[in-house]
Copies of this chain bind each other. A is one copy, B any other.
Amino acid sequence: MPLDLLKDYQIPGTSPGTLTAAEGESGPARIFLTSYTPGRLETREVADAEALRGLAAGEGVHWVQVIGLGDVSTIGRIGDVFGLHPLALEDVVHLGQRPKVEDYENVVFATCQILEAETGSVGKFQVSLFLGPGFVVTFQESGEDRLAPIRSRLEVPQGRLRNRGPGYLAYAILDRVVDSAFPALESIGERLEDLDDRILERPDRESMERLQEIRKDLLRLRQVLWPQREVLARLARDEHDLLGNDTRLYLRDCHDHAVQALEVSENYREMASGLLDIYLSSLSNRLGDVMRVLTIISTVFIPLGFLAGVYGMNFDTGGGWNMPELGWKYGYLAFWACCIAAASGMLYLFRRKGWL
């Protein structure tokens, strides 16, 4: 399984701000434009980035949603239209980016990761966001539109989202991103519980492998959740005109969620290392059980085997001193009596030691 902790990176020494197609992405970037005022809402797909020029001057809020990161020339043109910094665009097309926020004079740039529980794993999907006066531009990987719930909420005319500025839209998107950690954490929590039930019973290799998968997923999560918390902290603390004072309260709430997600993931990490302790001690326990059986059987039968061997010896019984037992009338019965007594004595001792 790939570790997947390192982001895409450029060859060291190349010029900063160079755009290269994101790994695994190809095909054109689709551009959706959603413009709204409290009274009006319009969504359409835009073919050419140039059509977006002059948008910010108009009234209302404009949300430019770019899906697909394979077409760097389109992305470059959008950056040109909205005056986005080349360094920020470089971050947009490199997947696996560490969540960050950067304040470019009149545009705020943030990049985050939506987390999604997949069967037995956790996927991350990069969302980059530019907030400027009157507009929000978001970039997502191609595939499912993971911001669709925001678009649905925009359709409610009396919704808070429709009646506020672009800062609140940016918040709504970030809130969607941050809250995506909870279902992912829940799925990990369930896997931990399943493993918790299983590991004492069957400390086998599969348990260890499952545990290891969970630990890797938690590492991956932490790599996203730590910096995401910082991003929200900075946005909630700094005084951006673009965000507005009332939105800051919402960002603070969002920050609280980010902190909580992080804490839960840290606690899961502790749980996971607790499970490792259980696993190792169960292994030890099982080894002890095995050895106890071996010891009991050996300790009982090896001496008896010796005794049987003794009476199988061929000493010349002519002289009175040599193996007179063989000639006794009840010799054989006495032999069995000895054996049973010895075995019982041993078992009694073992029971007293708590080995049985």
Binds B, one of A40-48, A127-135, A192-200: A192-200
User: Whole-angstrom distance between the alpha carbons of A7 and B179 in the complex?
Assistant: 12
Binds B, one of A10-18, A28-36, A73-81: A10-18
User: Whole-angstrom distance between the alpha carbons of A297 and B205 in the complex?
Assistant: 23
List B contacts of A1 (CB < 8 A). 193, 196
| Cβ of A295 to closest chain B Cβ, rounded Å | 4
Report whether B308 and A297 are in contact in the complex, using a CB–CB cutoff of 8 Å.
Answer: no
Partner of A175, one of B16, B182, B193, B332: B16
List B contacts of A345 (CB < 8 A). none
Q: Mark A303-322, 1 if CB is under 8 A from B, else 0.
A: 11110111111111001011
Report whether A205 and B285 are in contact in the complex, using a CB–CB cutoff of 8 Å.
Answer: yes
Q: Mark A276-314, 1 if CB is under 8 A from B, else 0.
A: 111111111111111111110111011111101111111
Interface residues of A in 199-216 (CB under 8 A from B): 200, 202, 204-205, 208-209, 212, 215-216
Are A319 and B315 CB-contacts (below 8 A) given A87-B250, A288-B290?
no
| Cβ of A22 to closest chain B Cβ, rounded Å | 16
| Cβ of A311 to closest chain B Cβ, rounded Å | 4
A341 part of interface (Cβ distance < 8 Å): no
Binds B, one of A52-60, A63-71, A260-268: A260-268
List B contacts of A102 (CB < 8 A). 252-253
Partner of A311, one of B7, B298, B313: B313
Q: Mark A154-194, 1 if CB is under 8 A from B, else 0.
A: 00000111000000000000011001101101100100110
Binds B, one of A118-126, A136-144, A323-331: A323-331
User: Whole-angstrom distance between the alpha carbons of A249 and B104 in the complex?
Assistant: 9
Are A85 and B249 CB-contacts (below 8 A) given A5-B268, A205-B200?
yes
Closest Cβ neighbor of A323 among chain B residues: B332
Report whether B15 and A161 are in contact in the complex, using a CB–CB cutoff of 8 Å.
Answer: yes
User: Whole-angstrom distance between the alpha carbons of A289 and B196 in the complex?
Assistant: 23
Partner of A274, one of B205, B215, B222: B215
Add 6 more A-B contacts to A6-B182, A15-B153, A319-B330 (CB < 8 A). Answer: A5-B268, A12-B182, A208-B282, A219-B267, A301-B303, A309-B309
**A/B interface sample: 25 pairs, CB < 8 A:** A1-B196, A7-B260, A9-B183, A12-B179, A13-B148, A13-B176, A102-B252, A208-B285, A215-B274, A226-B263, A280-B281, A283-B288, A290-B291, A290-B292, A291-B294, A293-B299, A294-B294, A305-B309, A309-B309, A313-B326, A314-B314, A315-B332, A315-B335, A316-B327, A322-B329
Identify the 7 closest CB pairs spanning chains A and B, nearest first: A13-B149, A308-B309, A12-B179, A311-B313, A294-B295, A9-B182, A312-B312
